[in-house]
Structure 1
């Protein structure tokens, strides 16, 4: 019996589209350590511009990979953390990190 792989391939292609964007993997890697504020993320990944960091965070939130929580202190703080979906992706990307350490 021939199986239709189109739905599977479409999902795999969409996943690679998300993780293939520059900086996404590093942002997820940093957030695997726990919630971070915008300024903390920028300090940890200084080559990433604030504009691009903001853009990537919005994209990851839209994909359901991270949560954005506004803390109504003075001054107002925004904290980012991975969702369960983001944590699972981060765990999968850890295998890529192991491969990179071994082969690159």
Structure 2
């Protein structure tokens, strides 16, 4: 059954703990998997793999595998993923402002 609520739909795509972080870091441009994983230090290897696979399946990121040894995998935002930039930057700005508010109390 498809839920017609736009927010529900959006949260299904990006509402996990790790997806917004990975998408946010890819706003900087394409990134090798190891570099991207280091930008999200608390994520396990299993969860990283699961998350990028889901993002790729949903068409938000693309994955390019280079035929070299050791394997080189690079992720980047698709056009659909790039359309989330304003939302992701707004969440980042809100977090920055809220952290400042909490520290000043």
Q: TM-score range by the shorter chain?
A: 0.7 to 0.9
User: What stretches of structure 2 of length at least 5 have no aligned partner?
Assistant: 100-105
Name the structure 2 match of 1:15.
Answer: 10
After TM superposition, give the deviation of residue 50 of structure 1 in Å: 0.6
How many pairs were matched up? 97
Matched, 1:94 2:80: no
TM-score calculated relative to the size of structure 2: 0.84
Per-residue CA deviations over 1:38-61 (Å, capped at 9, x if unaligned) read 111122212110100000000000
User: Could you tell me how far 1:74 is from its partner in structure 2?
Assistant: 2.4
| Unaligned 5+ runs, structure 1 | 1-5
- 2:67 matched to 1:72? yes
Aligned residues: CA RMSD? 1.5
Offset at 1:98? 1.1
Q: What TM-score does the superposition give when structure 1 sets the normalisation length?
A: 0.84
